[in-house]
Amino acid sequence: MGNIFAASEVVELGIQIEKNGRDFYQRLTQQTDNTKARDIFQFLGKEEEKHILAFEGILSRLQQYQPQEAYPGEYFAYMKSLSEEYVFTQKATGEKLARLTKTDKEAVEKGIGFEKSSITFYEGMIKLVPPYEQKVIDELIAQEQEHLRQLSELKNALRGV
């Protein structure tokens, strides 16, 4: 049985996730009247753009890397399963989801969900890239965790906590 995904395809999914995240936050920046929310959404959109560049760098350096697995296709099957469940791996969904978002609170809730899903996806991705690329993904995960913290603070501010 051949691999369901190549490592490069998983990195390309990471790029798509970040593009959708960028589009989501950019659209929210335009939609909100709340200054604090706008500042955070604008910052997060710029951060997603940086992540796109980081993943594109990984992709440009990635060879036909094959991770060590317990059985052939183990990690690729896992990542395929994750990507099928994650809406942000599908093209052009970020802006569409933002347009369907009616309140800042709803936007923040969606953002928190997307950041959590991204962290899970990238944690799985670490096993699919060569060891010399894992540090980059670790740094991206740390940044996504910081985004999650910022969104949680915004959620509390919107609640008046």
Q: Which residues of the chain are modeled with pLDDT < 50?
A: 1-4
Helices (H) and strands (E) in the chain, counts: 6, 0
Rg (CA), the chain: 16
pLDDT computed for residue 135 by the predictor: 85
pLDDT computed for residue 48 by the predictor: 92
Of the chain, the end-to-end C-alpha distance in Å amounts to 53
Pick the closest to residue 10 from 132, 129, 146, 159 (CA basis).
129
Q: Which domains does the chain have, with CATH numbers?
A: 7-159 (1.20.1260.10)
Q: Contact 15/59 with Cβ under 8 angstroms?
A: yes
Amino acid (one-letter) located at 30: Q
Question: Reduced to 3 DSSP states, what percent helix, strand and coil does the chain have, rounded to the nearest 5?
Answer: 80, 0, 20
What average pLDDT does the structure give for the chain? Answer: 83
